[in-house]
Amino acid sequence: KQEVTQIPAALSVPEGENLVLNCSFTDSAIYNLQWFRQDPGKGLTSLLLIQSSQREQTSGRLNASLDKSSGRSTLYIAASQPGDSATYLCAGLNAGGTSYGKLTFGQGTILTVHP
């Protein structure tokens, strides 16, 4: 059974800092891993998806990496801005026919970027 853990649970940084959010998973039979952000009371916005065959993906100021052997993924945010304040969630999709559409989520990291 896949379990996903995110550390830290909350993070507060000043504007302009580079930061790293961590995600670990217990089952290396992972097909892909997605990072999302969620604003209060809203749905999830997809940020990046990394396939199991990839090591990293980049979009603007965001860079996500995936290391299956160690069961870890990181989300790197460069030059953070107050608008980046949100809850960040990672979610894994396992390989195998019984995993269709089933993302296993971590509990999230609440990020606050203060001016």
Partner 1 sequence: KAGVTQTPRYLIKTRGQQVTLSCSPISGHRSVSWYQQTPGQGLQFLFEYFSETQRNKGNFPGRFSGRQFSNSRSEMNVSTLELGDSALYLCASSLLGTDTQYFGPGTRLTVL
Q: At closest approach, how far in Å is the CB of 79 from partner 1? A: 25
Give the residues across from 110 on adjacent strands.
Answer: 10, 87
Tokens 């379990």 belong to: 3
User: From CA 114, how far away is CA 62, in angstroms rounded?
Assistant: 18
The answer to whether the beta carbons of residues 15 and 84 sit under 8 Å apart is no
Binding residue (CB under 8 A) for partner 1 from 108, 109, 111, 113? 108
Answer yes or no: are the C-beta atoms of 50 and 64 closer than 8 Å: yes
Residue 101 as a binder of partner 1 (CB under 8 A): the answer is yes
User: Is 86 an interacting residue with respect to partner 1 (CB under 8 A)?
Assistant: no
Select the span of 15-23, 53-61, 78-86, 100-108 touching partner 1 (CB under 8 A).
100-108
CB 33 within 8 A of CB 4: no
User: Can residue 46 be called a binding residue for partner 1 (CB under 8 A)?
Assistant: yes
Q: Which of 77, 52, 47 is nearest to 67 (CA)?
A: 52
Per-residue binder mask for partner 1 (CB under 8 A), 14-33, x = binder: -----------------xx-
Choose which of 65, 73, 80, 104 interacts with partner 1 (CB under 8 A). 104
Contacts with partner 1, residue ranges (CB under 8 A) = 31-32, 34, 36, 41-46, 49, 89, 91, 93, 98-108
